[in-house]
Amino acid sequence: MKIIHKNFSLFCAIVDFGKGSKVLKKSKELGASGGTFILGKGTVRSSLLKILGLDEVRKELLLMVIEEDLEEIFHEELTREFSLDKPNHGIAFSTPVNRVLGLKGCTYISNQERRGGDEMKYEGIVTIVDRGLADDVVEAARAAGATGGTVMHGRGSGIHEKAKLFNIEIEPEKDIVLILSESQYTDSIIKAINEKLNIEKPGAGIIFVFHVNKTSGIMKNIE
């Protein structure tokens, strides 16, 4: 695979339900190619709302992999646009991504130097694909050395997803698979998933890898 010298960050924004699409629209203007939503809930500390049963607020968590150079711009512009510096308006955070596969104009960098040295024994592999493909991801990963994975559900809105119903754009449902892998197996796991699902094909999905500082409860494969 061809090596390109780009660094990436995972940018996460958590806002009230219904605001995520607006955040994504602004993010695309800033340079994001797309994003994936995960639905969740937050808790508002209010005795009155708790009595009324309205203390749980639905949230949207928006995940985007962006070029590292855009990270500061995203924080500044999204904070200004959506008042993230004010209470109860949402939060955003970002973290470095080791490697990425599936972004437009980006090729996977194999055996990239890991910040943290040899002590970084585990890495997190996140694969985002269309709903119903999670089992294929886990099957390929297990065959390459993974012990298993966690499947979550979300919805995506990438640049290649243009399905419409009655001229209304539809945001396809997604499977999100999180795998914790020993670093020595990361490349083989990603290769296996890519070969099975052709992630490098536009619109097929995305894979990104991040550092894991410490793990608990992970069982190694026993032959």
pLDDT tens digits for range 75-111 = 999 999 999 988 888 889 888 888 888 876 665 555 4
pLDDT score of 2: 47
Q: Chain-wide mean pLDDT for the chain?
A: 78
- To the nearest 10 degrees (0 to 180), the angle between helices 20-30 and 71-82 is 140
Beta strands in the chain (DSSP E): 8-16, 36-43, 56-67, 91-97, 99-101, 122-130, 150-156, 164-165, 168-169, 173-182, 206-212
- Greater confidence, 188 or 4? 188
Work out the pLDDT band at 3, boundaries 50, 70, 90. very low
pLDDT score of 97: 85
**pTM confidence score:** 0.68
Across 43-47, 71-75, 192-196, least confident range: 43-47
Q: Do 99-212 and 8-96 have the same topology in CATH?
A: yes
Instruction: Show the tokens assigned to 137.
Output: 């991801």
Span 4-24, mean pLDDT? Answer: 85
Tell the residue number behind the tokens 């308006």, with chain if given.
89
Question: CA-to-CA distance for 164 and 88, rounded, in angstroms?
Answer: 33
Please tell me the CATH code under which domain 99-212 is placed: 3.30.70.120
Q: Over 80: is that where the pLDDT of 151 sits?
A: yes
Question: CA-to-CA distance for 207 and 128, rounded, in angstroms?
Answer: 6
Show me where the domains of the chain are located: 8-96, 99-212
Span 131-153, mean pLDDT? Answer: 89
Work out the pLDDT band at 119, boundaries 50, 70, 90. very low
Say which CATH architecture domain 8-96 belongs to.
Answer: 2-Layer Sandwich (3.30)
Work out the pLDDT band at 116, boundaries 50, 70, 90. very low
CB 22 within 8 A of CB 109: no
Q: Over 60: is that where the pLDDT of 118 sits?
A: no
Q: What are phi and psi of 66, to 5 degrees?
A: -125, 165
